[in-house]
Amino acid sequence: MAKIVIVGLGTAGISVCLTIRKKYPKNEVTIIDKKEFDLLHSCGLPFLLDGRVDSPEKLKYTLKISGIKKYLNCEAIRIIPEKKDIETKNLKSGERENVSYDSLILATGTTPFIPPIPGLRELKDKRAFTIGDLEGVARLKEVAKKAKRALVIGAGATGLEAAVALNKKGLEIIIVEALKSLLPRALDSDMSEILEEHLKKKGIKILLNKRVERVDEKSVTIDGKEIPNDVIIISCGVRPNSELAKKAGVKTSDYGIVTDERMETSVKNIYAAGDCVQVSSLIDKRPFSAYLATPAYEQGRAVAMNACGGEARYEGALASFISLIADLEIASTGFNKDQAESHGYEIVEGKVKGLTKPRWFPGAKEITFKVIADTKTGKILGAQEIGGEGTGWRINIVSLAIKANLSLEDLSKVEFAYSPATSHIPDVLLTATDLALRKLKT
């Protein structure tokens, strides 16, 4: 019987626990986590802010698996690899205890990044908030009740979801993004413009290629102009929690903890999974940070098997992404145009606007779909989609196509089911693929 110790109980940690209990039930599992409860569904925090999730308790999950020892409200202080020990500290009592392991799995997640804007850090948790935990969202909701004007720094998914939530509460919203478009990691500028116009129609002001220069008690400064402000949401990305690993001699990078395909680190018997790890692109094997639940869950399954003496490989990630922002589903997978070109690809694009059902059938929704491929091989590199709720499933088909190394020609031959009550013929995905294919052949 092996002793498996997991540090961190997020998506990856839960996946590890479930896999071990299904496949290796005789092993002893110990969890070390800073929270007072098991799992927080952190992706639901913006929806707790807007009220669609009506109670914070609904975002908590208790791991109901027998035989698992939990050190909750407890921090992992130090790893001692030569002794196969990890030193822990109880965050309430201060008591310290060493826990031994045969295999150690680090699933330490990330921490929100606070940009070095003068005055911002001093106002954190007073009128400047990240969307990272229940306590922060609760304080934000209280401050927002008395606020009239909100600033969102950063145009990633969490920031946009929070902006829409506060907009629904009647606040004046300004979104400031240092890059040229909304959701710059996921969307090309031409696709982002669709979302931008949609948000502007709801009264949300968007400032692109701009930076916040200073934050004061009742205002912010942008481009030398002082703007009155009551509440700030900081949505500037995250950084991997890799210090514990680094101090133990584990190799790390700017992207996180470095592992091999078995999710084992540079130190024997220490593994890592989830947002704290560096992943490789499934397209060209270059390293990057995924910071998404689906790769974390898949990594957790692989690392659980390997830590217990089995054999599994994690091949890499595509950063397949979806979000619901102001009644629009935004989805992407693989490379966008800028990413593909920066990785040395010459690309061909197929972008079309269509409907989810025949125009004459009630409930048809508009959808814009874009597929990107390599001009030399025709291999699919990525795709993006913007449409009404329920349209984002097409991204999963392209994700599978990339994983299967399919070309535009291959994807154009996929047989779709059709009924006017549920779909359009041809589907917008196939229309975009055919357009890219025609461009490729001319």
How far is Cα 23 from Cα 2, in angstroms, rounded to an integer? Answer: 13
Q: Catalytic pick from 43, 74, 236, 308?
A: 43
Same domain? For 433 and 381 the reply is yes
Q: Is residue 322 part of a domain?
A: no
Portion of the chain with pLDDT greater than 90, in percent: 97
Same domain? For 133 and 207 the reply is yes
Which CATH number is 156's domain given?
3.50.50.60
**Residue 65: predicted pLDDT:** 83
**Residue 171: predicted pLDDT:** 97
Residue 276 has pLDDT above 90, yes or no: yes
Residue 64 has pLDDT above 90, yes or no: no
pLDDT category at 137 given cuts 50, 70, 90 is very high
Range of the domain at 29: 3-111+239-307
Query: Tens digit of pLDDT for each residue in 214-269?
Result: 999 999 999 999 999 999 999 999 999 999 999 999 999 999 999 999 999 999 99
pLDDT category at 300 given cuts 50, 70, 90 is very high
How far is Cα 60 from Cα 82, in angstroms, rounded to an integer? Answer: 36
**Residue 94: predicted pLDDT:** 96
Mean pLDDT of 130-146: 95
Same domain? For 143 and 228 the reply is yes
Mean pLDDT of 279-298: 97
Domain tally for the chain?
A: 3
Residue 40 has pLDDT above 90, yes or no: yes
Which CATH number is 373's domain given?
3.30.390.30
**Residue 442: predicted pLDDT:** 83
**Residue 274: predicted pLDDT:** 98
Query: Considering the entire predicted model, what is its pTM?
Result: 0.95
* Nearest C-alpha neighbor of 139 from the set 214, 56, 212: 56
Task: Tell me whether residue 17 is one of the annotated catalytic residues.
Answer: no
Q: Is residue 116 part of a domain?
A: no
Same domain? For 60 and 147 the reply is no
Q: Is residue 320 part of a domain?
A: no
Same domain? For 193 and 334 the reply is no
Of 13-22, 58-67, 262-271, 352-361, give the lowest mean pLDDT range: 58-67
